Structure 1
Amino acid sequence: MKKGRLIVLEGMSGVGKTTLARNWVKTLTDRGVPVIYLHGALSDTPVGQRFKEVVQSRKLELTSTYYYLADLVQFTQSHIQPMLKRGYVVIQDRYVDSIISFHRALTKMNGIIEDIKPVVDLYTEVGLLARPEATIWCYASDKVIQSRLNSDDGAHRKYIKNPHLLRSVSEEFALLMDERIQDGETIHTVKMDQVQHLSFMERFIFDLCETL
């Protein structure tokens, strides 16, 4: 059995990750590749369900980061790792970088110097979290993201009401991706409001299929 592969799509809400991920799943399925789409952040795990009500009933708080991280650890153990062991390509919509970027932005806005990345790195090192084979950082201009968020169902109200938070999280994403690249990790950056991203995505999926 071939080993599974974890491909993570990261980026701001409204940038187009989910649509892209589902297109990839269809493409791989049509080619006979075992693939599954999974989504992070308050999943359907017992931890995720318990924390969902807590997080949604509060204002933005630093403690919400630990709810997200606890859920992601359980989700990795109950969903991601089993599928990887079965040889699946796991297309993960959001993973650890979303949590790290959000936490960094929130701490700075609250005048606190705190970074959760060392905790995430340790969890990855000991196997509580999975290490992605590749991360696709999807980004777009603030104007494009804001227009997409304004047309959604209100799930991202925190960004609509607080454009400063939107900008801050976006900046932290960019800084984190630079860190990842400097550490030698495989990071692909794609600007989603440009037509050129389509050819990259097609080529990336084709190359992935060729190695399976």
Structure 2
Amino acid sequence: MSEGLFITLEGGDGSGKSTQTALLERWLTDAGRTVLRTREPGGTDVGHELREIVLHHPGEIAPRTEALLYAADRAQHIATRVRPALARGEVVVQDRYLDSSIAYQGAGRVLGAGEVRELSLWAADGLLPDLTVLLDLDEGVARGRLDAARTRYDRLEAEKAEFHARVRAAYLELATAEPERFIVIDAALGVDDIAERIRARVEPLI
């Protein structure tokens, strides 16, 4: 059995993570690997319910409550889907993981990156990705993409530009601190160009 591989895609809203996750899944499957494509929040039945609360609940959600809801989703997701898939030798391709919490709750909500990272690692029982792809995009450009694509925004997407600027800066700090885990790609590039850069980084790992 091949060793499992855990790949996460990160970036601000509108950076193209969902598109690249789907393209990477297709490429890996064509290469003969069994792939679990998943996401956070919402990668399990429990997580789906938590996702609706944390992103679409109409009332106020305190920042610490938000961070804990994401951690609860993560604990369930890693224990019941991701770790079993890795144990079977599959490639897990995941849209968002703990770096999202560090960026969005730690920096965006100003809860503190260190505290949120510790919470997330505890929830995930210490699991870190083998590779994290950061799709970096100016927050103004990202907002324009979202405006063109939808009329309804979730609670995080609807935040002001200053919030998203903090999120982007936090992501770049994370990538600088862990260059062996991260690859940073300009999300303003074309879809195919981005996909090729991701494949070039993933290929040696498989």
Report the counterpart of residue 203 of structure 1 in structure 2.
200
Query: Root-mean-square deviation (CA), in Å?
Result: 2.3
Pairing partner for 2:103 from 96, 101, 104: 101
Greater than 4 Å deviation, 4+ residue runs: none
**1:54 shift after superposition:** 3.4
Which string of whole-angstrom CA distances, capped at 9 and with x for unpartnered residues, describes residues 190-212 of structure 1? 1111245344224224434xx3x
SS of the residue corresponding to residue 159 of structure 1 reads: coil
**1:60 shift after superposition:** 5.1
Structure with max Cα Rg: 1
Give structure 1 stretches of 5+ with no counterpart: none
Which string of whole-angstrom CA distances, capped at 9 and with x for unpartnered residues, describes residues 3-57 of structure 1? 11001111111101110111111111112211121111133332x2443443322
In structure 2, relative to structure 1, the CA distance for the partners of 1:54 and 1:24 (3 Å cut) is: closer
In structure 2, relative to structure 1, the CA distance for the partners of 1:206 and 1:190 (3 Å cut) is: same
**1:166 shift after superposition:** 1.5
Is 1:140 the equivalent of 2:142?
no
Report the counterpart of residue 66 of structure 1 in structure 2.
68
In structure 2, relative to structure 1, the CA distance for the partners of 1:161 and 1:76 (3 Å cut) is: closer
Give the partner amino acid of 1:51: L
In structure 2, relative to structure 1, the CA distance for the partners of 1:22 and 1:101 (3 Å cut) is: same
Question: How many corresponding residue pairs?
Answer: 199
User: TM-score, normalising length from structure 1?
Assistant: 0.82
Cα distance between partner residues in 1 of 2:112 and 2:102? 13
Report the counterpart of residue 51 of structure 1 in structure 2.
50
Report the counterpart of residue 189 of structure 2 in structure 1.
194
SS of the residue corresponding to residue 189 of structure 1 reads: strand
Cα distance between partner residues in 2 of 1:14 and 1:188? 18
- Structure 1 contact 45–75 (Cα < 8 Å) conserved: no
**Identical aligned residues as a percent:** 24
SS of the residue corresponding to residue 36 of structure 2 reads: strand
**1:159 shift after superposition:** 3.0
In structure 2, relative to structure 1, the CA distance for the partners of 1:60 and 1:193 (3 Å cut) is: farther
In structure 2, relative to structure 1, the CA distance for the partners of 1:136 and 1:49 (3 Å cut) is: closer
Cα distance between partner residues in 1 of 2:132 and 2:156? 25
Give the partner amino acid of 1:147: G
Report the counterpart of residue 82 of structure 1 in structure 2.
84
Report the counterpart of residue 33 of structure 1 in structure 2.
33
Give the partner amino acid of 1:38: T
